[in-house]
Structure 1
Amino acid sequence: MGGPVAEPRRLPETAAVLAVRRAVRDWVAAYAPGGDLVVALSGGADSLALTAAAVVEAGAVDAIVIDHQLQAGSDVVAADAAAAALAFGCRSARVIAVEVGGEGGLEAAARRARYAALDQARDGRPVLLGHTLDDQAETVLLGLARGSGGRSIQGMGEWTQPWGRPLLGVRRAVTRQLCADVDVSPYEDPHNASPEFTRVRLRTEVLPLLEEVLGGGVAAALARTAEQLREDGAVLDAFASELLHTASDGAALSIETLATAPAALRRRAIRAWLLAGGAKALTGKHLRAVDELITDWRGQGGVAVGGGRAGSRLVAAREHGRLTLRRERPA
């Protein structure tokens, strides 16, 4: 939906408003100085606070509201969120209804549908997401449970094109306070209180217990850890890229070159090579098995990695001193 563009709503200079505005201002200056942005708006406190600040701190802002159609009245919730965006002064507010499948669970399916719709509708512009420091802490804990190494607990980045997350240093309580300060009532999604979802239990049970047992500051500490790991990971990825270039032998990789490299760089190089070759949903188990073709060769066969097609699978194998990646029919 659209309508006449309102002047940006004047926001009170409360502590919460100033904290969110500062976070958005810093993000825009660093990543999108032109300020022509899209905001993903759910109607919840985080995305409402983000929208209010973005209209003031950025240039032209368009809001996109995704209606997952998972609950009765979701269209009304979406329409109310769009109206709030226009009241804040967004150039436009558009509601997009999506169909949510069931593969991988409801949370994952809804996330895929949401991101796909946002990506299609953004028209080449960055999309701001309302993830907060609390969301970052939950993401780090989920990654820790997967046990896939440092990359899995790096959390979310401020800018992973085309997704921008200006509020990763802002607590969820601050976004709620902003909504109260500007007299806007956020939508309370019942899914955010349902214990059947792992992230909800982390939010309502695990993190509060950790805060109590460890004396507070746990969420902020987890977010700092994620940031440090992202910084370290960027350096290691750069060195791994150099190793990958050196080891490249056409479409294959030199076993000798990889075998003499440090494990942290070798596995990063293997991961990048597999992804470039079409691998999907790589796990730590995949990477260790492919790494063993280099460092613990006992004549074992190839390793199937996700990314196959109907009637074929994607297999990494050791052949004549080279690591190869090919599609083959299952036996």
Structure 2
Amino acid sequence: MGPDPAVATARSAVREALGGQPPGGLVLVACSGGADSLALAGALAFTAVRMGLRAGGVTVDHGLQEGSSERAGEVVKALSGLGLEPVESVSVSVGRAGGPEAAAREARYTALDEAAERLGARAVLLGHTLDDQAETVLLGLARGSGARSLAGMAPRAGRYLRPFLGLTRAEVRRACLAMGLAPWDDPHNEDPAYTRVRVRREVLPLLERRLGPGVSEALARTAALLREDADALDGWAVRALEEARDFEHALDVRALEGLPPAVRSRVLRRAAVAAGSPAGTLAAVHVAAVDRLVTAWHGQRGVDLPGGVKAIRRYGKLHFGPAGVAVPGEKRRKA
């Protein structure tokens, strides 16, 4: 008899995600010990050897719960028991910036990046499921985010691969148990203090009851469609930025005026980030203020942006640079 259908589906998803990896390359799985990432580890252990790849694992100890180091040790044993090598547990210090969820995520990805670099891994697999994608889309919608946020998580983002985005959480858990693995259920995943947990336990079930089944699948499809649109607009913005930029790295206002707002806002955001404004704190309201220098110019002095960056319009050019530094054609004010 063949494997449980859920196991076969999980292995097939991993095999598809790893297509194109060079033979002998190292692939890591990020594993918390939960059902999603443990099933991913099991599927990777089976699939990698058949594709001529090396497979290892990393678990991140956030230190946020009593006994977290012991649980990390148990995850290491489980991953090693699957035949993964190398396997590491990495301890991190979680800050407070952006709230507990964002801070933990930032610390986790930093640790995974460092581990991948240190071990020479070509890819890191993450266990996000279709249900996680639906939650991400709803959270972005609630924040009033743009298309890129509503596009959710990409199946491939740099070294990170998410093979299970097309599988439901229930399917993945079934695969985990069918492989004979014992997942750990994080109590944080039941804590209503976290916004994502409230979406998972309250909002999505309510939508399913009121609108009928299939809401999560529909949200995931929406994310995929929006990702295609956002990718196309981002590509257009990259080309438009180069065409509008002069030898002094200023942007020609006339070139910007002719762009659709969706493209122009992306151009302005990229220019601000390139000048040193942090992408994480550069909000839509900042970009909209810079856009008014292009579309509603009446001699305003400029726009202060996060990171000590200022956008100034002078003689038909838009300049981005450190606040307080004179731009070409501008006289410094006397102290």
Could you tell me the TM-score, scaled by structure 1's length? 0.91
SS in 2 for 1:122: helix
Q: How many pairs are equivalent?
A: 315
Choose from 201, 221, 226 the match for 1:204: 201
Q: Is the 8 A contact 1:12 1:182 kept in 2?
A: no
Task: Find out whether 1:86 has 2:76 as its counterpart.
Answer: no
Q: Is the 8 A contact 1:148 1:283 kept in 2?
A: no
Query: What corresponds to 1:299 in structure 2?
Result: 299
CA distance in 2, matches of 1:288, 1:172: 38
What is the CA-CA distance between 1:298 and the residue it aligns to?
2.3
Q: Which amino acid aligns with 1:26?
A: E
What is the CA-CA distance between 1:201 and the residue it aligns to?
0.2
Query: What corresponds to 1:3 in structure 2?
Result: none
Segment drifting more, 232-241 vs 60-69: 232-241
Q: Is the 8 A contact 1:41 1:65 kept in 2?
A: yes
Choose from 47, 63, 73 the match for 1:69: 63
Query: What corresponds to 1:319 in structure 2?
Result: 314
What is the CA-CA distance between 1:103 and the residue it aligns to?
2.2
Q: Which amino acid aligns with 2:92?
A: V
Task: Find out whether 1:217 has 2:214 as its counterpart.
Answer: yes
CA distance in 1, matches of 2:164, 2:275: 34
Give RMSD over aligned pairs: 1.8
For residues 233 and 103 of structure 1, do their structure 2 counterparts lie closer, same or farther at Cα, with a shift above 3 Å needed? closer
What is the CA-CA distance between 1:71 and the residue it aligns to?
1.0
Query: What corresponds to 1:288 in structure 2?
Result: 288
Q: Which amino acid aligns with 2:295?
A: T
What is the CA-CA distance between 1:12 and the residue it aligns to?
6.2
Query: What corresponds to 2:266 in structure 1?
Result: 268
Query: What corresponds to 1:186 in structure 2?
Result: 183
What is the CA-CA distance between 1:304 and the residue it aligns to?
2.0
Q: Which amino acid aligns with 1:268?
A: R
What is the CA-CA distance between 1:33 and the residue it aligns to?
4.6
Q: Which amino acid aligns with 1:296?
A: A
Q: Is the 8 A contact 2:272 2:309 kept in 1?
A: no
Choose from 13, 18, 23 the match for 1:23: 13
Q: Which amino acid aligns with 1:51?
A: A
Query: What corresponds to 1:236 in structure 2?
Result: 233
**Counterparts of 1:31-180 in structure 2 under 5 Å?**
32-34=21-23, 35-58=25-48, 59-123=53-117, 124-125=120-121, 126-180=123-177
Q: Which amino acid aligns with 2:316?
A: G
Q: Which amino acid aligns with 2:57?
A: A
Q: Which runs of 5+ in 2 are unaligned?
A: 326-334
CA distance in 1, matches of 2:322, 2:2: 60
Q: Is the 8 A contact 1:12 1:181 kept in 2?
A: no
SS in 2 for 1:95: strand
SS in 2 for 1:324: strand
CA distance in 2, matches of 1:304, 1:55: 51
Query: What corresponds to 2:330 in structure 1?
Result: none
What is the CA-CA distance between 1:299 and the residue it aligns to?
2.2
Could you tell me the TM-score, scaled by structure 2's length? 0.90
Sequence identity percentage: 47
Choose from 251, 254, 266 the match for 2:252: 254
CA distance in 2, matches of 1:183, 1:54: 15
CA distance in 2, matches of 1:299, 1:329: 18
CA distance in 2, matches of 1:267, 1:104: 24
Query: What corresponds to 1:13 in structure 2?
Result: 3
What is the CA-CA distance between 1:53 and the residue it aligns to?
0.7
CA distance in 1, matches of 2:68, 2:324: 45
CA distance in 1, matches of 2:76, 2:2: 22
Q: Which amino acid aligns with 2:112?
A: L
CA distance in 1, matches of 2:305, 2:157: 25
Q: Is the 8 A contact 2:39 2:175 kept in 1?
A: yes
